[in-house]
Amino acid sequence: MRNEPDKVDLVRCIPFIFLHLGCLGVIWVGASPVAVGSAIALYFLRMFAVTGIYHRYFSHKTYSTSRLGQFLLALWGGTTVQRGPLWWAYHHRHHHQHSDEPEDAHSPHVHGFWWSHIGWITSRRNFPTDYTKVKDLAKFPELVFLNRFDVVVPIVFATAVFFVGRALEHFAPQLGTSGPQMLVWAFFVSTTALFHGTSCINSMAHLMGRRRFATSDDSRNSFILAIITLGEGWHNNHHRYQSATRNGFYWWEIDPTYYGLKLLSWTGFIRDLKPVPQSVLDEGARAEHAASVAAAQKASVVHPEYSALKKVMPAAAAIAIATVPVANHHAAPQPRPAVHRDATETTQEPQ
Ligand SMILES: [Zn+2]
Ligand SMILES: [Zn+2]
């Protein structure tokens, strides 16, 4: 299947059509605060599973846990309805190896926005998992089982959501919800939003935002995407250094997934969270400074007060130039090395 042509397969579209049509159920089931609240809560709880589990654990192994802990994480990840942990990790590692190259399954630059957002998942070519590329995960039969039968967890999850609604209808009728209403909101609406939120990283995070690091791809950092995806929006940071548990490298880069993982580490459930190396932080600081100076120099051409200030107080002018916010990052073109990985990252590359 990996050698088949890359095109939309109608059979593979059925789950997505089903998921989106399920949202239309709101016309018949109505809404209640508990149903809408559950949809929002399950969006964030499962976005945490996408980013903190499928991405930062299974794809990059940025922290450790026990074998039982790993299995429980895989179950939690399964509720996201984004296929099995090995399929997810394989495709994501492949993305890092071939980012924005023709081999990349979901590059908006190579294949266009809609292909990178949803089309690629409907291609038969991207359906199988290449177990040879995720050997570190394929040695656990329980993970291979969850990956092979990846519909089991979503079906159990949807059924549980339905019966929670039924129970609330019976035991707390004042909440005004029901089994079908909870199914539509907390499963269909929440899962559809979760899918598009996650897909924004494949499509938008290589188009929208600033580039701090001159990586060999076109990954970007975006505050808006970081909010939608609980911290994954710092995608350029992540492409620069994949092995760290955090994607927000500095305190002002909000990364709720990292905060959640930090909390979990205090319980002992997970451990060995990996930091960002000081050399990478220093490189980021230098890049910010260079961009800042370049922007200020460009601004001084337009705003002569900088030049005037330079004549009177050279030191003050230097500080003003160095600290002015970046007006136009594109003003500072930087070399783009072909390979930009640390030794610690290459050790995590699939064998
Ligand atoms: Zn990327
Ligand atoms: Zn990654």
Same domain, 84 and 116: yes
Contacts with 104 (C-beta within 8 Å, 6 or more apart), sequence order: 94, 95, 98, 110
Same domain, 222 and 84: yes
Q: What per-residue confidence (pLDDT) applies to 316? A: 58
Same domain, 115 and 16: yes
90-122 b/e (C-beta count within 10 Å ≥ 16 → b) = bbbbbbbeebbeeebbbbbebbeeebbbbbbbb
Boundary-marking domain end, from 237, 271, 305: 271
Per-residue pLDDT tens over the stretch 14-51 = 999 999 999 999 999 999 999 999 999 999 999 999 99
The domain of 298 spans: 285-346
How far is the C-alpha of 326 from the C-alpha of 182, rounded, in Å? 46
CA 220 – ligand 1 centroid, Å? 8
> How many degrees, rounded to 5, is the angle at CA 129 between CA 128 and CA 133?
145
Q: Which ligand is nearest to the CA of 99?
A: 1
Q: Are 214 and 287 in contact (CB under 8 A)?
A: yes
135-147 b/e (C-beta count within 10 Å ≥ 16 → b) = eebbebeebbebb
Q: Which helix (H) or strand (E) holds 337?
A: none
Q: Which helix (H) or strand (E) holds 56?
A: none
CA 78 – ligand 1 centroid, Å? 22
CA 142 – ligand 1 centroid, Å? 28
Segments of the chain with pLDDT less than 50: 327, 331, 337-339, 351
Boundary-marking domain end, from 238, 271, 304: 271
Among candidates 242, 273, 275, which has minimal Cα distance to 346? 242
CA 80 – ligand 2 centroid, Å? 17
CA 59 – ligand 2 centroid, Å? 7
- The answer to whether residue 5 is domain-embedded is no
Q: Which ligand is nearest to the CA of 247?
A: 2
Same domain, 223 and 302: no
- The answer to whether residue 3 is domain-embedded is no
Work out how many domains the chain is built from and give that number: 2
Same domain, 40 and 155: yes
- The answer to whether residue 4 is domain-embedded is no
Q: Which ligand is nearest to the CA of 201?
A: 1
Q: What per-residue confidence (pLDDT) applies to 4? A: 84
Q: In this structure, is the dihedral angle defined by the CA atoms of residues 81, 85, 87 and 89, taken in order, positive or negative?
A: positive
Boundary-marking domain end, from 271, 293, 315: 271
- The answer to whether residue 60 is domain-embedded is yes
- The answer to whether residue 57 is domain-embedded is yes
Q: What per-residue confidence (pLDDT) applies to 339? A: 47
Same domain, 255 and 299: no
Q: How far does the chain reach from its first CA to its final CA, in angstroms?
A: 21
CA 318 – ligand 1 centroid, Å? 36
